Each structure stands twice: as structure tokens, then as C-alpha cells.
Amino acid sequence: MKIPEHIIQEISSKIDIVDVVGDFVSLRKQGGRYWGRCPFHDEKTPSFTVTPEKNLFYCFGCHKGGTVFNFLMEMENLSFVEATERLAKKAGVAIPKGEATSADRRRNALIELYTKAAGSFHYILENASEGEKARTYLDNRGLNAEIRALFQLGYIPRDMKWLFQFLKKKNFSEGFLKESGLFIRNYPRLALLAGRIIFPIQATGGQIIAFGGRNLEERGPKYLNTPETAVFRKRYNLYGLFIGLSAIRKSGAFILVEGYIDVMALHLAGISIAIAPLGTAFTREQANLIKRYAGKGYLLFDGDNAGQEATKKAIYICEEAGIETRVIELPEGADPADILKKEGIEALHKIVKCHINSFNYLVQHAVVKYDVATPEGKEAIIHEIFPFIDKIDTEVKREACLQILADEISVDQRSVLHDYIKGRRKQGVRRPQEEAKSYKLTSELFLMIAIAVHRNYFPRVRSLLTLEDLEDQAARSLYIALEECYRREDETSDGLFERIEDDRLRRTLLERIHSEEFNNNPEQLISDSLGRIKQMSLEKRRIHVEQLLKKAQDGMEIQNLLEEKIFLDEELERLRDWKE
């Protein structure tokens, strides 16, 4: 459903962002802004601000920011439509029930299909003769009927044509089924997951958006997921998150495991904070998703080489996302389901409680990998660990980790620090806090941000400055967003930010708005900046025309270029008079 822009503007004008944010954060007024501790990361000193005049929030610590709609979406994990509907109710604004877009209809149809199919798959698993082999396998893994029902496990019969025929009888069209992801792309009547145990994959709101399948035969890969669709992107979803969300929120922690059955085994043991990637390595997008609900993670992967590598990668990704992690080490060849079945709940709980600091884990494995008794081994160890230290965003933690590393390899800390700094400079690697997360403030971008802060100056600026006058791509993007707002008579911050697709530009704009550097004499500031940019644009064009004149031979071409040069000279003269 697409909500009309005038409704969004009305909600924005009537809603009090301080009131909304105040339901989640304790705010204190200071000057023209409100301050509090950021709800998106741990901090002791308040760096989270709300500016009611502009209806925006921003954190100087983690750099999250945006409109009241963005805030509610982040805090409650809502879609834009869901957040808007909730704010509309709070503001007393009625949202007209317009016709759903084709994209909305497609998404809803897919979710409806998956929901009905999941119910049928579960019935076959638990009641049909075709599901007996799958039931036996799950029973042998210790996954009883209760846990199977909680996760809605199912089974698709081995006959690859069965699913197509079954769904056709349910009045789903052949064309729709072809694009559903349930069938082999080149053979759209053959079920992709036929003969497999089915694991429904749920979004954080509980909707079934995809399926995973575990093979019971020798043929084909052991695990297979349905492909990405309009409702499913595997990099952005986690198995078990919806079911464990309440426990994860309450504890502020999660356990990351390798697969579907590992998640269920932990749930069976009463450990309801387990989640898993979806058949691929843990991704940055998944880390950002889980960070909304928990700041601490425990990594529980297999003890083999592949499991160790997966653990290392997850440690790096979590560190970048600002998630504190510890590692739970399993005996090689064992997984949570095996331990649960063979040794019982108490044994699994005991293993889960035994964990080590992630940095210590990395160092210990590096020490085992290389000969710490040799100079070459010591050097190899520090160069394996340095990339992780690059991810650390505080000097205190970085210094502590370098001290641990130095102690482990029996080297003076100053030598390790010297090599770290030297190596990073040589490779051109910058520490995370030094990375260019915001755009460099060119004169063009400076002007566009100043206008974004003081929108009433845009009509004058657009009459003097065109998009072609700008070379900075970020400034051009912001100009386009401002132009779209101007044409639609949308003067709200929400409308502007909705039209900026570049997250880096959004962040740069938020940082600069909240710096208040554009509040002192904005008319003079914008006028001076506009004059400089227009003059530079005209001078560059004149130089280009003069170069073309030197090469021109055709009489008409020379005449046209001379006329353009005269025009540019006159414009530059007028601009000088205007500036004076």
C-alpha cells in the first residue's frame, strides 16, 4: 500500500517527535535540542539528540539518525507503512484505504502461498505415509512433535510433480507458481525441494517468506533454500529470529549457530536465543539486523576447520557491527543436537556456559597455527591478528588487545604497537574511526546542505544555479531531492530524506544539520557560497569554449563559440556586480 504524500506530511506536522522518542529514551532539554542516551548502542555519556524544530533525531556516537518514521521503524522493527499507520493513529490522522500497488499484491500473494503451503507440508510430515521417513529422521535427531510444530517443519513428497498439481488444484496460476521460487527455474512444474524436510523461514514479523529443505536422499546438496524473491533476501534474514525474538530482547544476547537443527536443539534445551544464517556465511546485513535486539553474541559453530573459519569471520563482522562476542567451542565432530540426544540437556547447558573472549580465541588459534618459538612465527601471528584490531573502534580496547597479543607471543608491547602502526601506514589501512563514513564537504555540497537546512532559499538558488553547474555527485543528488520536494511543495524533513537513497549522503546531511554550523547568518553564507560556485562553473565553461575556439575551423562553429564566449563574459561580469 502506498500512502499519499500529503498524508505523510500531515502526520509529520501533527506528531511530536520528542513525545515519540520519549517513550523509549529519557530526554533532557538543552538549548534548542533534547539529549539522551542512544537506544541503538551502549553509552554512558548522552550523545543522542532530538531536534523538534526539524523533526529529526541523530546520534553523534553511532551516527544513526533520521525522521520520526525512521526512529519508530528502527525501534519496533516496522516497515515504513506500519510505522506510518502507528504514527497516524497517534496523531489522529486517517489514512485512506487506497488500492494496493502491484508490488504489494505480489508480496501478499507470495506470503499467502507460502503460508498455505507450509500448513500442508506440516500436515504431510506429521500425518501422511509419505512423511514417515522424515519423521523417523527427526525423531532420531531428538526433535519431537512439539518442537516440529513450533518451527512448522514439513515435508514435500518425492514425486517432483506432486506440488505443482496440488497447488494448481488450490487455484494458483501456472505463471504465478513459476515465479514463486518453489519450482526448478528451467522445469517450472518440478518441485525444487521435493523429497526434503521443509524448514519455513520467517521474517521478524512472523510471515513465512521462504523455505529451506534438508535432503533425505543421496542425490543433490544436503541443504537447499528457495531462491530470493520479492519477499526474501537471505542476507537480510536469520533463521529462528522471530521465534526467539522475545527471549533475545529480554536477555540482550543471542547464540549464533550453523544450521536449522542446531537452533531447534537449543530451543529444546530451553535456550531460546539461538539463531542461524540461511545456508551461507554470516553477513554484515544479518549482524545489523540482530544488533537491533541484542548487543552481545555467542558464536557456537562446529569444531572442524570449516567451523573455525566461520567463527573467525563472524567475529570480524560482529566487531564491525559493534556487537560484543564470545566463542563457545564444541568438540570436533559434535553438534548441539548430538550432544542433546546423547548427553542430555544438562550437558548442553554446561557447554553453552563455557565460552571465551573472541579476541583470545583468535590469538589462541593463531598461536597453534604458527610456531610461536620462532621470530617468523611471532611475525605471522601478529599479522594474522592485526586485521581484527583494525575493526576495533576504541583506543582503550585496541590497546588492551595489543597487550594481550604481546603477552601471548612474549614480545614487548611497544614493539607490537610499532609494527601495527607501521604496517597499517604501509598498507594504507585506516582505523575504523578514521574511515570516511561521511562525504567530504566540498563547496558544492556545503551549499546544498545549507539550503537543505534553510529550505526557503531554494527558489532563489534554483533560479541561478542549475544541476549542470554542479560536479560533486553528492551535491547533485541533494539538489535533485530538493528540486523534487520543491515541485511537490513538500517542505518537510521527512519528504527530503525519503528522496535521498544514498545512506552515506543521508548520514552526512544529518551530521551537518545537527552541527548547527549553518545557523549563523544563513543568507550571507548561502549567497557567498552560491556566488563562488556559479563563478567557478562559468569560468570552467569559458576555458572550455576558448579551447574549442583554438581548434575550430568551420565558420559557423566559430561564430557560435564566439557568441557563447560573449555570453559567458557578460554572465561573469553580472555575477561580479551581484556579489559586490
Under CATH, which architecture does the 361-434 domain have?
Up-down Bundle (1.20)
Same fold yes or no, 5-91 and 241-354: no
* Nearest CA among 496, 503, 501 for reference residue 449: 496
How many residues does the structure list for the chain? 580
- Dmax over CA atoms of the chain, in Å, equals 94
E strands, 151-222, where?
A: 154-155, 183-184, 187-191, 196-202, 208-215
Alpha-helical (H) ranges within 260-331 are 260-268, 284-291, 305-321
pLDDT in tens, 341-380: 888 899 889 999 989 999 888 888 888 888 888 888 888 8
For the segment 85-107, the average pLDDT, to the nearest whole number, is: 78
Positions of E strands within 12-150:
28-30, 33-36, 48-51, 56-59, 65-67
Spell out the domain ranges in the chain.
5-91, 102-232, 241-354, 361-434, 443-579
Contact 243, 267 (CB under 8 A): yes
What are the tens digits of pLDDT across the range 119-158? 999 999 999 999 999 999 999 998 999 999 999 999 999 9
- Look at residue 166 and tell me whether its pLDDT is greater than 90: yes
Among 206-215, 398-407, 439-448, 541-550, which is the least confidently predicted range? 541-550
Q: Which has the higher per-residue pLDDT, 476 or 563? A: 476
Higher local confidence (pLDDT), 464 or 345: 345
Which residues are CB-neighbours of 184 under 8 A, at least 6 positions away? 190, 191, 192
Which CATH number does the domain 443-579 belong to among 3.40.50, 1.10.260, 1.10.860, 1.20.5?
A: 1.10.860
Residue 101: its pLDDT value, please? 62
Contacts of 534 by beta carbon, 8 Å cutoff, 6+ apart: 464, 465, 469, 575
Would the pLDDT of 428 be above 60?
no
| Paired residues of 29 in beta bridges | 34
Confidence at residue 260, expressed as pLDDT on a 0 to 100 scale: 94
Q: How is 520-578 classified by DSSP, letter by letter?
A: SSHHHHHHHHHHHHHHHHHHHHHHHHHHHHHH--SHHHHHHHHHHHHHHHHHHHHHHHH
CATH homologous superfamily of 5-91? Zinc finger, CHC2-typedomain (3.90.580.10)
Average confidence (pLDDT) over 330-336: 81
What is the crossing angle of helices 503-515 and 473-487, to 10°?
80
- The residue that leads in pLDDT, 332 or 228, is 228
Q: Classify domain 241-354 by CATH number.
A: 3.40.1360.10
Written as nine digits, the cell of 125 is 510430515
pLDDT at 57 over 60: yes
Cell of 41: 548502542
Average pLDDT, whole number, for the chain? 84
3-class SS letters over 328-355: CCCCCCCCHHHHHHHHCHHHHHHHHHCC
Beta-sheet strands, E only, within 48-99: 48-51, 56-59, 65-67
Per-range mean pLDDT, top range of 56-70, 186-200, 360-374, 393-407: 186-200
Q: How far apart are CA 545 and CA 394, in angstroms?
A: 52
Q: Is the dihedral of CA 141, 146, 150, 153 positive or negative?
A: positive
Banded pLDDT at 270 (limits 50, 70, 90): very high
pTM: 0.63
Among 3.90.980.10, 3.40.718.10, 3.30.460.10, 3.30.70.3450, name the CATH number for the domain at 102-232. Answer: 3.90.980.10
* Residue 245: other Cβ atoms inside 10 A: 21
CA–CA separation, 575 vs 531, rounded Å? 7
